[in-house]
Structure 1
Amino acid sequence: MRRILTALSLASLSLLGSSLHAQEQVLNLYSARHYPTDEALYADFTKATGIKINRVDSDDAGIVTRLKAEGSASPADVILLVDAARLWKGEVDGLFLPIRSKVLETAVPKQLHAKPTDDGGIAWFGLSTRARVVVYDKLKVKKQDVDTYEKLADPINKGRFCVRSGSHPYNLSLFGAMTEHLGPVQTEAWLKGLVNNMARAPQGGDTDQIKAVASGECGVALTNTYYLARLMRSSNPAEKAVAERVGVVFPNQQSWGTHVNVAGGAVARHSKNATNAVKFLEYLVSPAAQNHFANGNNEWPVVQGLKLDNPVLNAMTAGNFKSELVPISAVGMNQIKVQQMLDRVGFK
């Protein structure tokens, strides 16, 4: 009898464990956001909802490749990418599940999310933005010589220009937008002008470009705003000195505006926890999460009307700047064309 009771007890415990496991709320996140400050976002969501987040980190290309390889067996629920063209490509490749969410549709401006499908579903939503700006050596370069993207290719900037790889998503998206503004022939000539003006071969990341300008190796460079903001907010005297040495320009304020890229999120096509996934995306457009994007990683929130508590972002733009309105789909569709141009002009 004792053996029977023991067996029954073990079976009951096993069933109880299985039941508890089945009730556990989880969310599998594939994220290209490799920012340490985002940890607070995930912890706050779990605390508020009880939903545990399992995270896989990679870059945009790595995540897309993994999703394609996993197919319908993918455990991914939410995808976070940091480039507009990659979001568009993920949509085109059918990697995302179009969703209906009044919260997201109300919070995110139309130009910062995918176009609705025939049944009204939306494949991805922008969550934060970052501008691609020009930094320049305040001691050697005149601001008026670098106040548009076009002027970076002008002979006046010969031997001054520094940039990361032309094939990096941040540059591909800028170049894709320039193709819309200038047309392919003029854009290729502009890219050739950038190559001719380089102070060195493309290398490093955006922070490296800023430091190269501050050191005098370069006169002018491209960077996303949050890299500069990090240096401006740093408690490290050397990093603060770098930020103080360089000037910043939001290009093309008198024409089409500064190029702005989008970081965003989507529900994975084969999500097993789609309800939790939608909850998470809705949480990311809440005032608390949007302020975290601004204060934690120096990005601009997509939700309009929020007052930023980040003095560096406010100081950079005097509170406002004109951004371009090129459709994200157009930027995405230009990517292959742009890469071919880069190859032809020798832009590494």
Structure 2
Amino acid sequence: MRSVRRFLPSFVAALAAALPLVSQAEENVLNLYSARHYQTDEALYDNFTKATGIKIKRVDADDAGILARLKSEGSASPADVILLVDAARLWRAEVDGLFQPARDKLLESRIPANLRSKDTGEGSQWFGFSTRARIVVYNKQVVSRDDVDTYEELADPKNRGKLCTRSGSHPYNLSLFGAMMEHLGPPRTEAWLKGLVDNMARPPKGGDTDQIKAVASGECAIALTNSYYLARLMRSDKAEDKATVEQIAVVMPNQATTGTHVNIAGGAVARYAKNRAAAVRFLEYLASDAAQSYFANGNNEWPAVANLKIANPALDKLGSFKAESVPISVIGMNQVKVQQMLDRVGYK
């Protein structure tokens, strides 16, 4: 947390300059439903309040819990802004009518078209504010990089008994698998998923950090993880985290073909938002240079705003890479079929 504290003074100053104080006529409370569970985001929210005078009343849950709550609450929902951490869940919420469009010149100029929902004439319904890659980590003592530099190879018999993952039904994996279905088609995707199951070193369990540590400890030799989990360990001062990073290497898969799978964290104005002006102001804040830099420096995510200079040694070390270009809506639509495949092949 020392690095976060060092970052706060310049962050507050930059944010205050970027966002003028709200008028007395604007609502001074924002009801936020957030699936972001990162401790460093506390300062992100606090500094929005300091810069704008808008207080944040937050409800925390995972993506599925937030969507279920919104459906249950209906028009009585107090939610003004929704933050989700998976592209397919953003798409699902849009399809289910849980968002309202926002026609906003600042957001449209700052957030690239491929990182926001399609504009149907009234504006985009959701906007991506940060990105993360689904990468491969491996034990460099026992695995050759050439054997794990594509997602497809993770299912190859040469990697039998080496793979660790979290649950196949977790949104981070479902989005990757939905993208793979677009690349491979349904029959080959199901065969690939069966190959992943056959190559498991142990049943799926834990989160992404657990997969990285399992590779370092020798429990398995290959794992999938979101990039920011690895970057967090790379920046840690703890001796055990340093030892973990020393034991592993990383691959950005499919650089010679389709590119590495990239997911987003994004936000939207809730369908029944009572404080729409405050909601749009908050989304604009998330697109500011100060907040975008905080996503990078605070939680090790790549900013959505293009060409923004960041100061994160871990992200710098991961380097630039080719990202895949599968439309987010396609990934979302593919997930129902993917889940059925997971059930058939026994991917828990």
Q: Say yes or no: does 1:92 pair with 2:92.
A: no
User: Match of 1:72?
Assistant: 75
Tell me the distance in 1 between the aligned counterparts of 2:59 and 2:197: 37
Give runs of aligned pairs for residues 180-191 of structure 1, distance below 5 A: 180-191=182-193
2:132/2:264 contact within 8 Å kept: yes
Give the C-alpha shift of residue 235 in structure 1. 1.0
Q: Once the two structures are aligned, what percentage of the paired residues are identical?
A: 71
Q: 1:273 aligned to 265, 272, 275, which one?
A: 275
Q: Deviations over 1:100-135 (max 9, x none)?
A: 011111111111100012x33210000100000000
- Taking a change above 3 Å as real, the CA distance of residues 155 and 96 of structure 1, as seen in their structure-2 partners, is same
**What letter corresponds to residue 324 of structure 2 in structure 1?**
E
User: Match of 1:306?
Assistant: 308
Runs of 4+ in 1 over 4 A off after TM superposition: 21-24
Alignment RMSD, CA only?
1.1
**What letter corresponds to residue 244 of structure 1 in structure 2?**
E
Give runs of aligned pairs for residues 188-267 of structure 1, distance below 5 A: 188-267=190-269
User: Match of 1:49?
Assistant: 52
User: Match of 1:10?
Assistant: none
| Secondary structure at the counterpart of residue 335 of structure 1 | helix
**What letter corresponds to residue 300 of structure 1 in structure 2?**
W
Structure 1 residues without counterparts, runs of 5 or longer: 1-20
Give the C-alpha shift of residue 240 in structure 1. 1.1
Give the C-alpha shift of residue 243 in structure 1. 1.1
Tell me the distance in 2 between the aligned counterparts of 1:222 and 1:310: 22
Give runs of aligned pairs for residues 1-150 of structure 1, distance below 5 A: 25-117=28-120, 119-150=121-152
User: Match of 2:342?
Assistant: 342
Deviates more, 1:67-76 or 1:36-45: 36-45
Tell me the distance in 2 between the aligned counterparts of 1:22 and 1:144: 61
Larger Rg, first or second structure (1 or 2): 1
Give the C-alpha shift of residue 22 in structure 1. 9.2
**What letter corresponds to residue 272 of structure 1 in structure 2?**
K
**What letter corresponds to residue 126 of structure 1 in structure 2?**
G
Q: Say yes or no: does 1:323 pair with 2:326.
A: no
**What letter corresponds to residue 173 of structure 1 in structure 2?**
S
2:27/2:278 contact within 8 Å kept: no
1:206/1:227 contact within 8 Å kept: yes
Tell me the distance in 2 between the aligned counterparts of 1:120 and 1:182: 35
- Count of residue pairs the alignment pairs up: 325
Tell me the distance in 2 between the aligned counterparts of 1:47 and 1:23: 15
Structure 2 residues without counterparts, runs of 5 or longer: 1-23
Give the C-alpha shift of residue 24 in structure 1. 5.7
| Secondary structure at the counterpart of residue 255 of structure 1 | coil
Tell me the distance in 2 between the aligned counterparts of 1:279 and 1:224: 29
TM-score between both structures, scaled by the size of structure 2? 0.92
